[in-house]
Amino acid sequence: MAVHYVLKEEDIPEGGFSLVQVDGREIGIYHVNGEYHAIHNYCPHQGAPMCAGLVSGTTLPSEVYSYEYGKAGQIIRCPWHGWEFDLKTGKALFNEKIRVRKYTVEIEDGKIGILITKSITGSGAIRDSIL
């Protein structure tokens, strides 16, 4: 287990993101509402480069024919099939058992660190593919 310091806080403005290489994997770091979230650049569905997807808000569960927009800046949508994931939790909006892999971010002295645990496939809930 090790923290890899990869960027400074000023490298990623609010609403922005940066793609970094850490320990042989591509990780996207997103600055959302004052927090940093790090995700694997790999969609659990068909392996798309997740960080090529757009970040936005989305419609929240609501009554029929009403629309409630929320989670602004917090939803990443896979660049291929459009699956929506919550950057704060890594969970897919249609099924929270489907997750993009998240990494713990540690901030120290203005530096952004990524915590890498030993296993690259440690989270049992992540599905490599559907078929």
Partner 1 sequence: MKGYKIIDADVHNEQEDAALLPYLKEPWRSRVAASGIGYAGSGYYSPIGVMKKDSIPPGGGRAGSNPDFMIKQLIDGYDLDYAILTGVVYNISTTHDPDYAAAICSAYNDFLIAEWFGKHKAFKGAMVVATQDPLLAAREIDRVGGHPDIVEVMISSAARAPLGQRYYHPIYEAAERNGLPIAVHPGAEGGGGSTAPTSAGYPSRYIEWHTCLSQMFMAHLVSLVCEGVFVKFPNLKFVMVEGGVAWLPGLMWRLDKNYKALRSTVPWLTKLPSQYIRDHCYLTTQPIEEPDNPQHLIDLFNMIDAENMLLYSSDYPHWDFDSPDHILRKLSPEARRKIFRDNALQLYKLT
Smallest separation (angstroms) from partner 1 to the CB of 129: 4
Closest CA to 95 of 55, 58, 127, 63: 127
**CB contact set of 67 (below 8 Å; sequence gap of 6+):** 59
Q: Of residues 40, 45, 91, 99, which one binds partner 1 by CB under 8 A?
A: 45
State the minimum distance, in angstroms, from the CB of residue 4 to partner 1: 25
- Please report how close the Cβ of residue 58 comes to partner 1 at its closest, in angstroms: 9
126: contact with partner 1 by CB under 8 A: no
Q: Of 9-17, 22-30, 49-57, 106-114, which part binds partner 1 (CB under 8 A)?
A: 49-57
